Structure 1
Amino acid sequence: MEFDGEFELEEVPPEKAWIVLSDPVAVRNSLKGCTYITPMDDDFSFDDYEADEDLETLPEADAEDVAERAFVEGKEYAALMQVGVGSVKPRFETSVMIQERDEEDFTMTATGSGTASGSSFSMNSGMQIYPLEDGEGSRIEWWTEADISGRIAQLGSRVIEPVANKIVGNFFSDIEQQMTDVDEETDSGITDRIRGML
């Protein structure tokens, strides 16, 4: 299954959009049903890990904290999501590897795989942020290719696609609000400092 799209932020420059989309906590907060996105190692356990739910994001968060937890190229992350699909509400245990993270082109790509309710899936996804030609804003293009097998796949694309589209729509609506808040309330010097630390 393939999903892709784009959206524009009239007033948010690419540098500030990039900071928000580089923060696993900001991404988690915008993904409905996502409990956490956290670095994982060989000993990581989805059953035992307890997420810290009270972490601040920009504009309230400390710049050093945001830079320290930002996505890192070549690093693997655990993501736990619970989403209703048809009559089931599977618990998606996912590992995600950041394949590419290019701060000059504002490009990030990732691969992932996981299991949920007798099903398995794999995915490739990415995004790129472009400056708007006629203003200070940004245009964000994103894409995902997903291969699903097992019980969830049996529901068919007629059931899965509307759920996926709703999650994506809600995510970008929420992340846009976070980016707007950062742009309006965060000094450019702070976001420049964070970019320098990434």
Structure 2
Amino acid sequence: MEFDGEFELDGVPPEKAWVVLSDPIAVRDSLKGCQYITPMDDSFEWDSYEPEDDIPTLPEAEADDVAARAFKTGQKYAALMQVGVGSVKPKFETTVTIEDRDEENFEMTATGSGSASGSSFSMNSGMRIHPQEDGDGSRIEWWTEADISGRIAQLGGRVINPVANKIVNNFFTSIESQMTDVEETDSGVTDRIRGMF
């Protein structure tokens, strides 16, 4: 299945959008059903991992902390996602690898796969942040190609597509709110963080 779209963030320039969308904690907090996103290695254990709560994001977070935890090319991340599709509400143990981060063009691509009881998926996804054509904000272009199997796949696109669109719309609405908070603070903070990537 293929999903793609665009989202406009008024008054948030691409360099600020890039900093917030590079922060796994900001992404986690904006992604409904996501319990955590954390770097993982070969010894990571899903059953015993305990995520930290109440980790500050911008503008409250320290610039050094945000830069240190930013998504890194080649790094694998563990993400626990619970997604309700119809009467099915599985928890997906998902592994995501950041394939590329293009700081110049504000583009990031990732691959991932996940499984839950009776369902699994694999995906290729990405996003690119463009300046708005008529304004000082950002236009975010995003895309995902996913292979879905099992119980969720049996529900078909008629059920899956509206759920996917709702998740994406909720995500960008929440991200926009976070970015507005950042926008109202000293713009030097995001510039400094970008310099640390």
Q: Work out the percentage of aligned pairs sharing the same amino acid.
A: 78
Unaligned runs of 5+ in 1: none
- State which drifts further: 94-103 or 133-142: 133-142
**Secondary structure in 1 aligned to 2:184?**
helix
Query: Which residue in the other structure is 2:188 paired with?
Result: 189
**Secondary structure in 1 aligned to 2:71?**
coil
Query: Which residue in the other structure is 2:38 paired with?
Result: 38
**Secondary structure in 1 aligned to 2:141?**
strand
Shift of 1:10: 1.8
- CA deviation profile, 1:136-195 (whole Å, cap 9, x unmatched): 21111001111001111111111111111111110011111111111112x121111100
Query: Which residue in the other structure is 1:75 paired with?
Result: 75
Shift of 1:135: 2.4
Shift of 1:118: 1.4
**Secondary structure in 2 aligned to 1:18?**
helix
Q: TM-score, normalised by structure 2?
A: 0.97
Matches of 1:10 and 1:87, distance apart in 2: 36
- CA deviation profile, 1:47-98 (whole Å, cap 9, x unmatched): 1111112100000100000000000011100000111111121011100000
Q: TM-score, normalised by structure 1?
A: 0.97
Shift of 1:116: 1.3
| Structure 1 stretches of at least 4 aligned residues deviating more than 6 Å after TM superposition | none
**Secondary structure in 2 aligned to 1:111?**
strand
**Secondary structure in 2 aligned to 1:4?**
strand
Query: Which residue in the other structure is 2:113 paired with?
Result: 113
Shift of 1:6: 0.6
Matches of 1:180 and 1:134, distance apart in 2: 19
Matches of 1:196 and 1:16, distance apart in 2: 12
* Superposition map of 1:49-128 within 5 A: 49-128=49-128
Letter in 2 for 1:82: Q
Query: Which residue in the other structure is 2:134 paired with?
Result: 134
- CA deviation profile, 1:109-128 (whole Å, cap 9, x unmatched): 00000101211110010000
* Superposition map of 1:136-155 within 5 A: 136-155=136-155
**Secondary structure in 2 aligned to 1:168?**
helix
Shift of 1:133: 2.7
Matches of 1:7 and 1:85, distance apart in 2: 23
What RMSD, in angstroms, separates the aligned Cα atoms of the two structures? 0.9
Matches of 1:166 and 1:136, distance apart in 2: 26
Query: Which residue in the other structure is 1:21 paired with?
Result: 21
Matches of 2:122 and 2:136, distance apart in 1: 36
**Secondary structure in 2 aligned to 1:32?**
coil
Length, aligned pairs only: 197
Query: Which residue in the other structure is 1:171 paired with?
Result: 171
Letter in 1 for 2:124: N
Matches of 1:193 and 1:69, distance apart in 2: 15
